[in-house]
Amino acid sequence: MFRDSLEDYAGYENVSCLLSSGHLMTAKWGDAIYLRGGHSLRFVRKGASMSFTKLTWGVKASFRSYVEAAGGSITVSDGAIRAEDGTFVFMAEPNSGLAIAADGSVSGAMRFKGTVSFEAHGGMLKTTLSQLGLEAAESGLVLTVLEGPMNKGRCAVAELGPVDVGTGGVTTINARITMDGMYQIADNYPPGTELDPVLLA
Ligand code: HEM
């Protein structure tokens, strides 16, 4: 169903809705959209570009606890910050954004500065997540990082969705680990394992 304040969009001929799946659908002003599941929608203008200034992600709470309980270390660098609740904050690179084309397809990417590294078991466990990215893939939105250990290409570590546009300007997106993510994050969690949600503001 439309979110409460559709009046905000009254000036637009068409509105596009970023669906839970990460895909976009378009409706004319006044159309009613009914979706099962009650997920919230984010309305954006076609041709617009969405951008956020920061991404907050905890990777996986149990992984953070495990590394620290094993006497290992979690370090942030290159501008990433560790928040009080143990999650990590990455600031957006300037001039990056996801663009929404006239046909409603999403393209482009956002990049976020910073690196978080996990190390434990005398270096046998070593995970580095650098330069996070938010990208529109064919399957919907994905979370990408530089592909370790060479850090040359990029890989998608998580599939994102549904999108929940909360109050207070924070968008929460659920994340599930991919096969590449499994290799990148301690080679332990099978694809599809729920990770911490990605928060965008
Ligand atoms: C000295 C060798 C190791 C021992 C004795 C050990 C022991 C354990 C134990 C007992 C658990 C279960 C923890 C729980 O359920 O609360 C666990 C989980 C795990 N181990 Fe290890 N481990 C070792 C080495 C490694 C290495 C080398 C890696 C990665 C390269 C690794 C990655 C993990 C991960 C990611 C988990 C899951 C943590 C979670 O999300 O709960 N472990 N390990």
Query: What digits encode the pLDDT tens for the residues 28-73?
Result: 544 444 443 444 445 566 666 677 899 999 999 999 999 999 999 9
Beta bridge partner(s), residue 160: 175
Token pair of 112 as six digits: 């976020």
3 state DSSP class of 158: strand
Specify the pLDDT at position 34: 41
What is the Cα–Cα distance from 132 to 69, expressed in whole angstroms? 26
* Ligand 1 atom nearest to 60, measured from its CA: 40
Q: What is the mean pLDDT of residues 104-128?
A: 91
Q: Find tokens 């009254």 and name the residue.
A: 10
pLDDT value at position 47? 66
Inform me whether the pLDDT recorded for 20 exceeds 80: no
* 141-155 tens-digit pLDDT: 899 999 988 888 999
Contact 54, 89 (CB under 8 A): yes
| Tokens of residue 150, six digits | 């060479």
Is 188 touching ligand 1 by the criterion CB < 6 Å?
yes
Of the candidates 112, 81, 115, which has an alpha carbon nearest to the alpha carbon of residue 184? 115
Q: Of ligand 1's atoms, which has the minimum distance to the CA of residue 63?
A: 40
